[in-house]
Amino acid sequence: MQPSITVNNVFFSWPDGSEIWRDLNVNFNQGRTGLVGDNGSGKSTLLRLISGQLPPAQGEVVASGQMAYVPQVIEADPAATVADLMGVRQALDAIMRLEAGDYQSELIDIIDDRWDLAGEVEQALARLRRVGGSLIDVDLDRPVGSLSGGEAMLLAITGAHLRAADITLLDEPTNNLDQPMREYLLNLIDSWPGTLLLVSHDRALLDRMDQIAECFDGRINLFGGNYEHYEAALAMQQAAAIQAVNQATGEVKRAKRDQQAAAERQNRLLSRGKAKAIKEGLGRDVRHGMAQKAEKGAARQGGDTGERVSAALAELDAAEQAVRGDEPIRIDLPDPGVPAGRRLLEISWPGGGYVLQGPIRLSVEGRNGAGKTTVLRRIVGLETVSSLLPDVRIRALIDRIGYLPQSLGFDGVESSALDLVGAAAPTVATGEIRSQLARLHLRGDQALRPVASLSGGERFRVGLARLLLADPPCQLLILDEPTNNLDRRSVRQLVEALANYRGAMIVVSHDREFTDQLGMTDRLTIDGGQLIVSAYD
């Protein structure tokens, strides 16, 4: 089968010299491929190389046919419309002009035999309206600025599905989607035409793939089957690697033991030979010659056992390289000073209210577009009034609030993690900041590279470090979809990092497993403009 995407000897590094791919060779055939790997392993960079957004320094990427690409973050003009976001505006306008009597040949080229596109788009919008939420009112002229992040993502992916390109690239497509939207997307994936290559950490989505491509240690390993098959194959590999380490460790011990035994045996033979020569009255020169001959034999035998030890140590080193580690996060966080009775935040609405006090952990929940992010932005003063939840009143009673938004941006993307965190903790020594960054797995060059060159997961760690290591410490942390862009191991490490935080916390997340692990105590549900408070169970 002719591959749809061919990557030949590709080399790519960032301007600061940070190398991402070297001599990368991989082929992707028709069907659905899930691209997985730790944060910073090069997944999103590979999609951008394939899409042509980034040029390789060496090598080439060859793609057969038309291509559609939907990035992690939809950065459309807020004044643009749903038709623009879905990529169908130009073709629909061409159809309208032809129907009005404008028969220019370039219009026919734009339509490309998609004369029924208007009907297909309306059917797609009808299916989206059945998903519910604020998509009930979706139409082609609706401004993109009125959409939530999840709604914009789902519409962009629906447009890519409609256009039926030969190759489609999706980067973290389930980010920001609530459960009904996620189910809609999963069903869409089942009927995807052509070649689909997507980056995701969503287990349910990856279980719908035909193969898994793993980015690991500067290379890509292909596994036939879905994510379940990949995990089983990886578990077998790791079991074999651990067994190889045990066997190599045993061989090293045996080789060293035999080397020691050989040396002791040779010393005994030399002592006995010397005693026998003296007893038999042999001259000094004769004895010296015998000793030299014995020592040469000992050196040969010692060399043999030494080579065996060296070979065993090399085999052990190679075996240990194949075993993958999973380092936990343990950072020392200062006490933010939030006693149980301290009132931090007041939220009121007609007929009800809520007071956040003490080290409470509040989960804010609701459908996409319900107003969850609006509530968070109003808490930190980024919004004062909006059409969403106009009767809700919010009053913060403290100043030390840390906010980590969905679309993580930094004022100085050319600054390093060390500089950005240092600015948030001006009285903390540089060495201490580097030590704490290392515990958040931002080590060495990662802490010194421009933030713009870091992966989405690495940038998230920088943003989290600015909040957790701030001086004076934040009394309230607000996290909006913090597990977006994080691999499964990083989500577990995020829970570890937040375990020692002793302030209050407000979290918006569609990842129920994550909020369960954080130990949330209260729930604020937004449903149809109404706010409902309950205990988190």
The SS3 of residue 523 is strand
Contact in structure between 531 and 371 (CB atoms under 8 Å): no
The fold of the 343-535 domain, in CATH, is: Rossmann fold (3.40.50)
In the chain, what is the greatest distance between 2 CA atoms, to the nearest angstrom? 124
Buried b (16+ CB within 10 A) or exposed e, 1-34: eeebbbbeebebeeeeebebbeebebebebebbb
Instruction: Tell whether the model's pLDDT for residue 207 goes beyond 70.
Output: yes
Q: What is the pLDDT of residue 234?
A: 85
Question: In the chain, what are the helix, strand and coil shares in percent, each to the nearest 5?
Answer: 45, 20, 35
44-77, pLDDT tens digit by residue? 999 999 999 999 999 999 999 899 999 988 887 8
124-151, pLDDT tens digit by residue? 999 999 988 778 888 999 998 888 888 8
Q: How far apart are CA 201 and CA 212, in angstroms?
A: 12
Chain centroid to CA 3? 27
Token pair listed for 339:
């006693």
Q: What is the pLDDT of residue 205?
A: 93
Instruction: Tell whether the model's pLDDT for residue 362 goes beyond 80.
Output: yes
**Mean pLDDT across the stretch 165-189?**
91
Pairing outcome for strands 401-404 and 67-70: unpaired
DSSP state of 476: E
Contact in structure between 501 and 333 (CB atoms under 8 Å): yes
Contact in structure between 349 and 392 (CB atoms under 8 Å): yes
φ and ψ at 210, to 5 degrees?
Answer: -85, -25
Q: Specify the higher pLDDT residue, 98 or 121.
A: 121
Q: How far apart are CA 43 and CA 46, in angstroms?
A: 5
Q: How far apart are CA 222 and CA 445, in angstroms?
A: 29
Distances (CA, A) of 155 to 74, 108, 139, 171, 527: 10, 25, 11, 14, 22
Sheet holding 19-28, edge to edge: 19-28, 5-13, 58-63
Q: What is the pLDDT of residue 290?
A: 55
Instruction: Tell whether the model's pLDDT for residue 162 goes beyond 70.
Output: yes
274-291, pLDDT tens digit by residue? 666 566 665 565 555 555
The SS3 of residue 341 is coil
Contact in structure between 144 and 78 (CB atoms under 8 Å): yes
Q: How far apart are CA 160 and CA 166, in angstroms?
A: 11
Q: How far apart are CA 167 and CA 62, in angstroms?
A: 12
Degrees, nearest 5: CA angle 494-500-505: 75
The SS3 of residue 172 is coil
Half-sphere exposure (Cβ direction) of 112: Cα atoms closer than 13 Å: 8
499-532, pLDDT tens digit by residue? 888 999 999 998 888 899 999 999 999 988 899 9
The SS3 of residue 109 is helix
Contact in structure between 129 and 138 (CB atoms under 8 Å): yes
The sign of the CA dihedral 260, 261, 266, 269 is positive
Q: Specify the higher pLDDT residue, 117 or 305.
A: 117
Please tell me whether the peptide bond between 426 and the residue prior to it is cis, using omega within 30 degrees of 0.
Answer: no
The sign of the CA dihedral 445, 449, 454, 457 is positive
Pairing outcome for strands 31-37 and 19-28: unpaired
The single-letter code of the amino acid at 505 is M
Q: How far apart are CA 445 and CA 449, in angstroms?
A: 6
- Options 3.40.50.300, 3.40.710.10, 3.40.50.1240, 3.30.70.1140; CATH for 5-226 is 3.40.50.300
Q: What is the pLDDT of residue 148?
A: 84
pTM value > 0.85: no
Distances (CA, A) of 132 to 49, 83, 370: 36, 19, 11
Mean pLDDT taken over the chain: 84
Half-sphere exposure (Cβ direction) of 43: Cα atoms closer than 13 Å: 32
**Mean pLDDT across the stretch 244-268?**
78
Token pair listed for 139:
């139409």
Bridge partners for 60 per DSSP: 8
Sheet holding 476-480, edge to edge: 401-404, 476-480, 504-508, 361-366, 522-527, 530-535
Instruction: Tell whether the model's pLDDT for residue 110 goes beyond 60.
Output: yes
Which single residue is written with the structure tokens 């948030």? 424
